[in-house]
């Protein structure tokens, strides 16, 4: 189904970047809208970076630095979400507020 392609692409990018968290990432993608949204942002940032990298082959692109920083920031955000959720998976009450408590 064509409409499933972007969703699969979003999750696949995150799984490729964080293979050690595959099961947890799949679970969060299905159950946490904030994580799913961060995955979408990450996909869009990666696609934008790839586009500007291709364009930079013909002329300098000032956007490259911005997109590189954005990808790094989104990876840090995703990593933090995965770590927070991983901590909750081992204990129902971590003492930390947030969307990961069940």
- Which has the minimum average pLDDT: 12-21, 29-38, 59-68, 88-97? 88-97
| H or E segment and range at residue 8 | helix 5-17
User: What pTM did the predictor assign?
Assistant: 0.77
- Rounded Cα distance, 18 and 58, in Å: 32
- Average of per-residue pLDDT across 8-35: 94
Beta strands in 30-95, from DSSP E residues, in sequence order? none
Asked whether 32 and 99 are in contact (CB, 8 A), the reply is: yes
| H or E segment and range at residue 84 | helix 63-90
Summarised one tens digit per residue, pLDDT across range 35-86 is 999 999 999 999 999 999 999 888 888 889 999 999 999 999 999 999 999 8
């Amino acid at each position: 189904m064509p409409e499933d392609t972007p969703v699969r692409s979003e999750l696949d990018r995150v799984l490729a970047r964080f293979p050690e968290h595959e099961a947890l990432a799949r679970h969060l993608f299905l159950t946490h809208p904030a994580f799913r949204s961060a995955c979408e942002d990450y996909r869009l940032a990666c696609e934008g970076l790839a586009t500007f990298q291709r364009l930079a082959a013909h002329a300098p692109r000032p956007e490259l630095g911005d997109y590189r920083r954005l990808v790094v920031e989104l990876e840090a955000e995703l990593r933090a979400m995965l770590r927070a959720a991983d901590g909750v998976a081992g204990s129902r009450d971590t003492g930390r507020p947030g969307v990961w408590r069940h």
